[in-house]
Amino acid sequence: MVESWGGRVEIVSEMGKGTTLKLILPRERAPDWFVPKLEIEKGTAVVILDDDLSIHQVWDNRFQGLNLEVIHFSTPYELKQWHQHQERRQARYLCDYELLGQKETGLDVVRHLGIQDQSILVTSRYEEREVLEQCFKLGVKLIPKSMAGFIPIALRQAQGDRQEDCHREPEGRGDLPKALSVGDCFVAEAPRNDKQSTNGKGLSVLVIDDDPLIGLSWRSQKGALKIGQLQIYSNMEKCTSNGVMYSDVDIAFIDKNIPETTWELSKTISYLKEKGVKKVVIASGESSADLKKDVACQHADHILSEKIPRNLKEFL
């Protein structure tokens, strides 16, 4: 398949050290609608409009430490009410297209408020002709929602043209492949299969969550959370079939609501503890007060109202 795309595969192996696999692909020109780098001027508020709570947390993690005010809305009404009193405020708007339960789309809101010059559409429907045509008419560019955890972020000085790249990619991205530029090719270099990459310093964390965006966010935060080994599965069926060494896992983070599984939450918690997982944490993005009322959740070591913690010290 790689060769059919005009690329090639290189494998280098050293006895006792490991194997490096390189996939070298031709560099393609990005579509005109694509935002290759999210540039934000210092002092600008970042406004998120999305009905999906997990994408709000992805952006929170991306902007963490950049000294930016991040404001969250889940409905057009909330954003419009806020905007009435903020017309002169400098802001960058990151809006979803489809907002469940709402008559207006994110682009309708952008058009109504006249904020197209400050807005980027963050959507999973970036390939649909209707969406692209609306964006073209408004002059709004897009970020595929699946790329929210990967788009480089750069802060621009309020005065002058100098930029500060405050979120370099892919350094510090944990176990994500390292991207290298070689001539006119893009090289994806897989991590070496050696002791350092599989049993390195840091905690061993297991995540059971069916939301791919949460998986991306965990991977992007691996370095910041000082995680040595990170394993992510969408359900317990996949987890149990992959030979996980549970006794090596320091903390397991479990989503309470996974539709495509036959495992009840209480069974999952009991199984992980019996297999030697040191700490089991419920992380479902719901109110911790509500979760504590759930009998199954009470068997966990900790209950987290967020899907991804700010740090792991509190669970040790």
- Is this structure's pTM higher than 0.85? no
**How large is the average pLDDT for residues 110-139?**
93
Q: Say yes or no to pLDDT of 40 above 60.
A: yes
Q: Say yes or no to pLDDT of 165 above 90.
A: no
pLDDT-derived band at 87, boundaries 50, 70, 90:
low
193 contact partners, CB below 8 Å, separation of at least 6: 18, 19
Q: Is the peptide bond before 152 cis (omega within 30 degrees of 0)?
A: no
Share of the chain above pLDDT 90, in %: 44
Quick one: DSSP state of residue 145?
Answer: G
Name which of 235, 246, 255, 247 is nearest 297 in CA terms.
Answer: 255
CB 278 within 8 A of CB 249: yes
pLDDT value of residue 311: 84
Least confident of 36-45, 186-195, 240-249: 186-195
User: Residue 111, CB half-sphere, CA atoms under 13 Å: how many?
Assistant: 11
Q: pLDDT tens across 149-163, in order?
A: 888 999 887 655 554
Structural domains in the chain, sorted by start: 3-30+177-189 (no CATH), 38-167 (3.40.50.2300), 201-315 (3.40.50.2300)
